[in-house]
Amino acid sequence: MQRLVDGAAALGICLTTKQQAAFQFYYQELVAWNQKFNLTAITDYEQVQIRHFLDSLSCLLAEEVRQVLNRPEARVIDVGTGAGFPGLPLKLVCPGFSLTLLEATGKKVLFLDHLIGQLGLQRVSAIKARAEELAHDLSHREQYDLALARAVGELPVVVEYTLPFCRIGGWVVAQKGEAGAAEAWSASQAITLLGGELYRVMPVELPGLPEDRSLVIIKKVSSTPPNYPRRPGIPSKRPLGKRG
């Protein structure tokens, strides 16, 4: 895990021996399960360290994320987590917070449950559901301090998936590419409609990754109207207020 260790150090994160071993196990299980299920297109040892693990940990560059994850009472949801990114790498580094991993594909949820059990992670649950439906469940709606999303879709779609989960005063952090600022502009109407306020777009440079990344940070300032998110499939087919 040397690429991860060095990259994390460049981000100001010192990984312990135990954490390095957990990431090594994560990689081995990811590759093993990927032979049966389609979890990820990236399986190269160094590329997983950079494009999955280190990219997930880059969320910690945002002060808003660090403050939430260091509070034991904090509730975090990772929407469209896939094989656990960015939620599980963040949990391995900051174990105190409560994490919900939301994923619509059953085989990926099986993998997540397996990993959670094998790593002995506490206060982590994997839920098989769609965001458009779970966000109307009162035990999840506006109950989270932080909603994370990585590689879920265009930002107008992402905010409809995530903002309904956040309590007022909570945060959405969407991991995007170098066009994060342009996407934030295109999503401005959707952000406002759903009760959010664009806080900032933070450029991110990762060691070993040639392309630039960014974090779009949105604050929840008012309740999301009760009719959002719309029914499954509609947010991606008809993004809210997308601006060219």
Q: Is the pLDDT of residue 243 over 60?
A: no
CATH number where 92 lies? 3.40.50.150
Range of the domain at 230: 62-237
Rounded to an integer, the average pLDDT of 215-229 is 98
Q: What is the pLDDT of residues 12-51, one digit of tens each?
A: 999 999 999 999 999 999 999 999 998 999 999 999 999 9
Where does the chain show beta strands of DSSP type E?
A: 75-79, 98-103, 124-128, 144-150, 166-177, 196-204, 213-220
Sequence letter at residue 228? Y
Please report whether residue 15 resides in a domain: no
Residue 9 domain flag: no
Distance CA 137, CA 226 (A): 11
Maximum separation of any 2 CA atoms in the chain, in Å: 48
Q: How many domains does the chain have?
A: 1
Q: What is the pLDDT of residues 49-77, one digit of tens each?
A: 999 999 999 999 999 999 999 999 999 99
Residue 32 lies in a domain: no
Torsion region of 211: left, alpha or beta (phi above 0 gives left; psi -120 to 50 gives alpha) = beta
191 found inside a domain: yes
Q: CB within 8 A of 228, min separation 6: which ones? A: 160, 164, 193, 194
Which range among 172-186, 189-203, 220-234 shows the weakest confidence by mean pLDDT? 172-186
- Residue 187 falls within a domain, yes or no? yes
For residue 124, the cross-strand partners are 99
Q: What is the pLDDT of residues 226-242, one digit of tens each?
A: 999 999 999 999 999 86
User: Do the domain assignments include residue 22?
Assistant: no
Asked if residue 117 belongs to a domain, the reply is: yes
Any domain includes 209: yes
DSSP string, 166-214: EEEEEEEEEEEETTHHHHHHHTHHHHHHTTEEEEEEEEE--TT--S-EE
What is the per-residue pLDDT for 242?
64
Overall pTM > 0.85: yes
